[in-house]
Amino acid sequence: MDIEIVRSRFAKHFNGETGYVYASPGRINLIGEHTDYNGGFVFPGAVQQGMMAEVKPNGTRTIRAYSIDLKDYDEFSIDGEGPHASHFRYVYGVAKEMEKLGVPVQGFDCAFAGDVPLGAGMSSSAALESCFAFAINDLFGDNKIGKMDLAKVGQSTEHNYIGVNCGIMDQFASVHGKKGCLMRLDCQSGEFQYFPWDPKGYRLVLINSCVKHELVGSPYNDRRKSCENVVAAINAKYGTNAQTLRDCTWEQIDGVKPECNPVDIQRANFVMGEKDRVLAVCDALEKGDYETVGQKMFETHQGLSKDYEVSCEELDFLNDVAFDCGVTGSRIMGGGFGGCTINLVREELYDLFTKTAVERFEAKYGKKPIVIPVVIGDGSRRIA
Ligand code: GLA
């Protein structure tokens, strides 16, 4: 991302003025998919790609926004209904959610751009939300809102203004990211640890199928509902007060089979297994046992594809290619329904694997997938 481009577009659209510049990254996730809204564990890290925004208070109640990538401009009042276009709705939603936390938000001028590939499952929207949450906290809130609350602002923006009932992983990772570190977050307690990520002899690489992953209007919310149905059935049958599947046992899930839709049970069983896999991966990482990490990634892919049913033909194909090449671990990353696979690859296999994946995918689908090497970067920050 080029700060000079952001600076020059801002100046062009706002009478040669200058504001502050903020950046927030997208994310990868090593393992722990669809566990966040189930109170489980996730294992993300921020990437170098992200969103950048120049922002300057304008002394009114109006937000004037320019999307550099889409060459689109709009202005809307903080007190009105907000814009329709989703790229501006994120900005509006974040401003409203920051107001709810008591931040005296005022109007501002902004121009933003990003280099997180859209629809790749790398959380470009969380990057945008976190960027503006961070900026508004800095410009109007004396930085009094803590990082976890900034992440929650992004999440409630998705819920209340976009219609995706997402968990906290993406915004958490964007705000808290640290160069060279993955993070294990317990989504129930909010506790997290940084894990230095330096897999000697291995590399992480994403292969973007370029099938656009789009959670708005996707069955993402249905997956979440399935899990909630099972929790409700357990509470009704056992008189418990479980909030999420994290509070439930395999036996309880088995016990409510007669009351539940079999598909809901299948989804819940995936989530239980995924929770255990994250913990197994953490143990393996502490021992430097990357082969076990990789094996768990393949297991996650199977679960996401067959039980949670959030894969697609192209992603399953990329997973098969990785397996055939002898890659250590490979799986769908993020919400699914398109986007990338994440692959843990031994150094000596890297060139052969990426070349083979591109060639075989192109031969089958007539278009090249995009190879994205993973570099773990920093979280939300002011850069100028
Ligand atoms: C999307 C959501 C996250 C998480 C993942 C799946 O990225 O935004 O909250 O649920 O899907 O792990």
Question: Do 245 and 191 belong together in one domain?
Answer: no
Domain hosting residue 295, numbered range: 202-373
Write down the pLDDT at residue 20. 98
Question: Do 250 and 348 belong together in one domain?
Answer: yes
Is the model's pTM score more than 0.75? yes
Ligand 1 atom closest to 220 (CA): 11
Question: Do 269 and 157 belong together in one domain?
Answer: no
> Which of 170, 222, 305 maximizes ligand 1 atoms within 8 Å of its Cβ, making it the mutation to test the pocket?
170
Question: Do 142 and 26 belong together in one domain?
Answer: yes
Is 329:293 a contact under the CB 8 Å cutoff? Answer: yes
Question: Do 142 and 219 belong together in one domain?
Answer: no
Question: Do 258 and 162 belong together in one domain?
Answer: no
- CATH code (residue 159): 3.30.230.10
Number of domains in the chain: 2
Write down the pLDDT at residue 291. 97
Question: Do 227 and 352 belong together in one domain?
Answer: yes
Q: Is residue 60 classed as helix, strand or coil in its secondary structure?
A: coil
How remote is the CA of residue 220 from the centroid of ligand 1, in Å?
A: 9
How remote is the CA of residue 168 from the centroid of ligand 1, in Å?
A: 8
How remote is the CA of residue 113 from the centroid of ligand 1, in Å?
A: 22
Question: Do 92 and 208 belong together in one domain?
Answer: no
Strand pairing partners for 42? 185
Beta strand pairing status for 62-67 and 108-114? parallel
| CA 377 to the chain's CA centroid | 14
Write down the pLDDT at residue 52. 98
Which amino acid residue places its CA nearest to atom 11 of ligand 1? 335
Which amino acid residue places its CA nearest to atom 9 of ligand 1? 167
Beta strand pairing status for 20-29 and 329-332? unpaired
**Would you list the DSSP string of 95-130?**
HHHHHHTT-----EEEEEEE-SPTTSSS-HHHHHHH
Write down the pLDDT at residue 213. 77
Active site residue 307: no
Write down the pLDDT at residue 184. 96
- CATH code (residue 237): 3.30.70.890
Q: Which of 109, 170, 316, 378 is catalytic?
A: 170
d(CA 247, CA 352): 44
Question: Do 260 and 324 belong together in one domain?
Answer: yes
> Which of 33, 129, 166 maximizes ligand 1 atoms within 8 Å of its Cβ, making it the mutation to test the pocket?
166
Question: Do 190 and 171 belong together in one domain?
Answer: yes
Is 132:53 a contact under the CB 8 Å cutoff? Answer: yes
Question: Do 207 and 175 belong together in one domain?
Answer: no
Per-residue pLDDT of 225-276, as tens digits, reads: 999 999 999 999 999 999 999 999 999 999 999 999 999 999 999 999 999 9
Write down the pLDDT at residue 240. 98
How remote is the CA of residue 102 from the centroid of ligand 1, in Å?
A: 27
Write down the pLDDT at residue 215. 76
Ligand 1 atom closest to 36 (CA): 10
Question: Do 163 and 230 belong together in one domain?
Answer: no
Residue stretches of the chain with pLDDT short of 70: none
Written as one letter, the residue type at 175 is V
Write down the pLDDT at residue 1. 81
Which residue, chain included where needed, has tokens 């990785």?
322
Write down the pLDDT at residue 2. 92
